[in-house]
Each structure stands twice: as structure tokens, then as C-alpha cells.
Structure 1
Amino acid sequence: MRTRGALAALAPVVLLALTACSAGGTDADDAATPGATDAAACEPGALPTLTDGTLTVGAGEPYEPWYVGEPTSGEGFESALVYAVADRLGYAAEDVVWETVTFEQIVSPAIKPFDLAAYQTSITPERAEAVDFSSPYLTSRQGVIVADSGEFSDAASLADLEGARVGVTAAQTSLDAVEAAWGDAVEVVPFSAAGDGMTALSSGTVDAMVMDVDQGVAASTVYFPDTQVVGTLPAVGEPEQLGLVLDKDSALTACVSDAVDSLDEDGTLDALRTEWLKSDDVPELS
């Protein structure tokens, strides 16, 4: 979403399309099973990466709040997370190489052109059959975005949005969350990409848009400033969690999970969430 000049108007549509959360139950305990770690195997220089001495990281086109500027900037939640993980694994910032990939490349069973990928990928048992996940680094929620000047701009509860036309990204988590929250009380309008839905919201074609709340906060404050996040939807089933993605049965999975766990235990993950994600104060609608 970071283009300049004549391309700026296209950024929200193109890059909001790159959301990676999907429909289906999530169970981090079942899906992310890194296994026991041999401490010596995780020592700096011992990891069998694609290129000796280098950690290759897969990511899509950068957009906030996950990447601020290019991934190499170290700014944005996932960019900062990757460099923190790399540091725990013994890699200096200059030893991290970024590879631009599609979401399909990340979750497919094909051999990966990266050692790990950071692309807002939800941990699901289905995906865990094709790829490895690290320990989760973020629990996600679904946010509700409305137009500042729309009929539902003052919505403060689920009931306040009954009768609305609600946009979702087809086949993603938002669809299940909307159906669970409202049933037939709203009209669901699917879009192939979140950016298309946000454009429709700004033009009045839909009354609300539902997507990952952290992405929604960035969309409403940076890319579509005529909109606002009014709340989050109640969780459906198991909490939706994001993990770093590795090749199936990767020799790196346990070490990467250990690095994520250590960042969680010492408060680094909390600090990164506070710095880059602005959704802590968004209330849950009831």
C-alpha cells in the first residue's frame, strides 16, 4: 500500500487484496507442533538455511501495519518481528534476505523459495498438512469498518448494524464471523479482495466492511480516511492465530518456534504489538 504520486490511489485496492486469513477452524495446539529442540542445532551458524549464513524470508507486497515501507526497513509489525527472530537465531540484519512471494506459494505444499515467511498467515489444521507453522505470534480479531458519513457511523452494537449490507472477503475468516454474529439480519456482500470492499464502502455500495482488525485500523487511518473501525466481532470457534510459515518438516521449525516463544516470554512481542498495532482499544460489539 505504499506507492506515491499517480499510483497512490490504486494502493488500497491492490495491496488490501493481499490479506492472508482464511475461513475454517483454527487450533494452534494441533496445527503448530514444532517439537523438541536440540539447543546445539539452533546455535548461530548451525541452521541449515537455503543459503549458508543467510536467512531468506518470504513476504508479499508491503502494506501497513505489517510492513512500513519495504520489508528491509525493519518497520511495521511483521518486518520488526522477522528481524527480532533473526537476531535470536544469530543472524545480523544484513544477513536477512527478502523474497517476494504470493500467498499461494506460502501455503502450497511446493518447495519454498524461503526459509520462513511472514505474511499474516492463519494457522489451520488444513494448512498444517502442507506446511509447518511456528508458534503463534498474534491472535487476530475481525473488525467492523463503516463510513464516517454513512447511515451506520454511530453503530455501537451488533443490533445497530442489522439491515446493513456488510462486505467480506470471500472464503476468508470474516465470512464465518459475520454469519455467526448476525445470521440473516444483514446482507452479506462478498468481494474477491479486501481493497475492493473498502472502495465499495467509501462509495456507499456497502454499509460496512469486515476484515482483520489490525489491517482495518491501518486501512481506515492511512488508506481510506473517510472510514472508521467501530468494533470487533465475537470470536468464532478457536482463536485465530498467525504463525510464521516454513516448508513442511523443515529442520528450522523448532528453532524458529523457540525464537518466537522467547520473544513472547521476555515481552518483546507485546512491545511490538503496542508499537505497530493500534487495535487494543477497539471494543468487541455485542
Structure 2
Amino acid sequence: MRTSRPVALAALVPAVALALTACSSDTASDDAGESTSAAACTAEDLPTLTDGTLTVGASDPFEPWYVGEPTSGEGFESALIYAVADELGYAADDVVWESVTFEQIVSPAIKPFDVAAYQTTITEERRSAVDFSSPYLTTHQGVIVADDGDFASASALADLEGARVGVTASQTSLDAAESAWGDAVEVVPFSAAGDGMTALTSGTIDAMVMDVDQGVAASTVYFPDTSIVGTLPDVGEPEQLGLVLDKDSGLTACVSEAVDTLDENGTLDALRDEWLDSDEIPELS
């Protein structure tokens, strides 16, 4: 369903919608696209799917990335998109949202959107299929435990040895867990982070690894009887998130320029301060 901002809803997404789609194991890097003159980076000149409209792809919304529906302008990525749109010369009413799957976002198929904002880690493998904007966030993998579980007091990697640790299959959390513990824990893959969190609260697993900012929301909004005990050491280069566009899109350079401007003028820092709350979480060693 395509929606535009005036029909924003207030309902929050159920916890099961916590699908960790952001991450993968390859080295992160930005994709600025082909050079484009500043004069061409205006709404009337951009080659969007619909003239005068910026169509944005996103999957199931959940905090802290989206508060309510994407059209709300609340939540880190919703606010980011409207800020990018403003830099490009689009009014808020010119932003239209398209509900898509994560596979649609990262696959090489032609996209039903101009740009997607859905916690997508920039990787070399994905860059062979899609374009990325300049990165808008550097993130880490957090470790969540049950408040009444055997590992509630863990403060170091060694404290979790022997635990059953949930991860999202084939994504950054899997590589981060294997790198941190090796064979000292049993890694249990799940198709979605929400499934892992449900297993954690039921006692099926002892800990869950996911993007730390998503984990903050999971442990405070959706699963309040859990807590983040720390983050895992990075595997290779730091994990960075970027907006996704069609491969060789004529929009990539302009979207990257908009993200760069938001970084330089302090808007990205302000959005992080407003919507993300992971700066004080320590790294486990």
C-alpha cells in the first residue's frame, strides 16, 4: 500500500515486527554514485519514479527507527527521510511511502521506490546489487539478556560462556557472535530478531544479539523484562547503515550529497540524540 504523510497513524507495531534486517558480514563502505552537479540535485530535475514525488521504501516499522507509521516523521529513519527530502527540495506532502520486503530492498531487481530507509548495512556484496548513499549511522551489535536469567549480571564476554545465544541468521549478529565467542557459546539462529526475543523471554535461549539501538527499543518498549549488558567488538570495519537505491541510480549522488549535508550541519547528530540511546552502553571484552 502506498501512503503519504497526511494519513499518519499512531498505532505502534507489535513486538514480533522486530525483524533484524540491517546487518551483514561484509566490509562496510559508502557508495556516492556518479558525480552530479549541485544544480541537478533539485526536486524538479531528479529522475524519480513519479515526477515531483519521492517514493520511499520501508518494511514493517518499529522503534527507534519508526514511531507509528513511517509517515509520522517520528523515529530516526522517518525523520531522516523527511530531512533528506527537504534538502532535495521536496515538501513533506511530496514524500510517498511504499511498503516493501527487505529482500526487495537488497535484491538486484528494479525497485518500486526511489530510495529505501530500513537499517540496511552497507556491504561490498550488497553494493554489487544496489547503490547506497553515504552512511548515516555507525552502529554495533548489542547483547540482550533476561533480567531474571542466569546471565543477568554478565559484564564481560567470558561471563556468557556456555550460554545459548540467539542471532539473526546470515546477518551481522551471527558473525559478531562467532567472532566474539567462537565455540564457547551455542549460537542459535532465528529468521527475525523478534522471534529470538520471544525465545529469550521464554527461557529457550540465554541471550540475544542484535543491532544495539534496536536492542534498546526491544528491551524497553517491547520486552521490558530484558536488558542490554553490552556490545560486541566490531568484526572488521565498523558497521554502517545507508539508504538504498537502484544500482546505478541517477539519484544516488544527490541523495548522498543530502546525507553529507545533514552530517556536516549537525542534523544527523541531532537526530541520533533525539531518537537513539546507545552511547553509554559499554563494549564487552
Q: Which residue of 2 aligns with 1:78?
A: 77
CA contact (8 A) 1:16 1:195 kept: yes
The reply on whether 1:234 has 2:233 as its aligned counterpart is yes
Q: Which residue of 2 aligns with 1:88?
A: 87
Deviations 1:119-155 (A, max 9, x none): 1111111111111100000111000000011111111
Q: Which residue of 1 aligns with 2:26?
A: 25
Q: Distance in 2 between matches of 1:212 and 1:37?
A: 33
Q: Which residue of 2 aligns with 1:158?
A: 157
Once the two structures are TM-superposed, the CA of residue 16 in structure 1 deviates from its matched residue by 1.1
Percent of aligned positions that are identical? 78
Counterpart code for 1:222: V
The reply on whether 1:264 has 2:267 as its aligned counterpart is no
Q: Which residue of 2 aligns with 1:248?
A: 247
The reply on whether 1:204 has 2:203 as its aligned counterpart is yes
Q: Distance in 1 between matches of 2:226 and 2:21?
A: 22
Q: Secondary structure at the match of 2:51?
A: coil
User: How many pairs are equivalent?
Assistant: 276
Q: Distance in 1 between matches of 2:79 and 2:26?
A: 28
CA contact (8 A) 2:130 2:244 kept: yes
Which of the residues 18, 22, 35 maps onto 1:16? Answer: 18
Q: Which residue of 2 aligns with 1:147?
A: 146
Deviations 1:222-273 (A, max 9, x none): 0000000010000000111110001111111000000000000111001101
CA contact (8 A) 1:26 1:241 kept: no
Q: Distance in 2 between matches of 1:16 and 1:44?
A: 33
TM, length-normalised to structure 1: 0.94
- CA gap of 1:3–1:204, structure 2 versus 1, over 3 A, is farther
Q: What 5-or-longer segments of structure 2 have no aligned partner?
A: 1-9
Q: Secondary structure at the match of 2:18?
A: helix
Q: Which residue of 2 aligns with 1:55?
A: 54
Counterpart code for 2:25: G
Once the two structures are TM-superposed, the CA of residue 3 in structure 1 deviates from its matched residue by 5.4
Counterpart code for 1:230: V
CA contact (8 A) 2:143 2:230 kept: yes
CA contact (8 A) 2:28 2:121 kept: no
CA contact (8 A) 1:142 1:211 kept: yes
Deviations 1:143-184 (A, max 9, x none): 000001111111111111111111111111111101111111
Once the two structures are TM-superposed, the CA of residue 201 in structure 1 deviates from its matched residue by 0.5
Q: Which residue of 2 aligns with 1:109?
A: 108
Q: Secondary structure at the match of 1:28?
A: coil
Between 53-62 and 74-83, report the one with greater CA deviation.
53-62
CA RMSD of aligned residues (A): 1.3
TM, length-normalised to structure 2: 0.94
CA contact (8 A) 2:134 2:260 kept: yes
Q: Distance in 2 between matches of 1:200 and 1:41?
A: 50
CA contact (8 A) 2:262 2:268 kept: yes
Q: Secondary structure at the match of 1:144?
A: strand
Q: Distance in 2 between matches of 1:154 and 1:35?
A: 50
Once the two structures are TM-superposed, the CA of residue 27 in structure 1 deviates from its matched residue by 3.0
Q: Which residue of 2 aligns with 1:119?
A: 118
Counterpart code for 1:12: A
Q: Distance in 1 between matches of 2:86 and 2:107?
A: 28
Q: Distance in 1 between matches of 2:205 and 2:114?
A: 40
Q: Distance in 2 between matches of 1:178 and 1:91?
A: 42
Q: Which runs of 4+ in 1 moved over 6 A?
A: none
Q: What 5-or-longer segments of structure 1 have no aligned partner?
A: none
Q: Distance in 2 between matches of 1:97 and 1:248?
A: 21
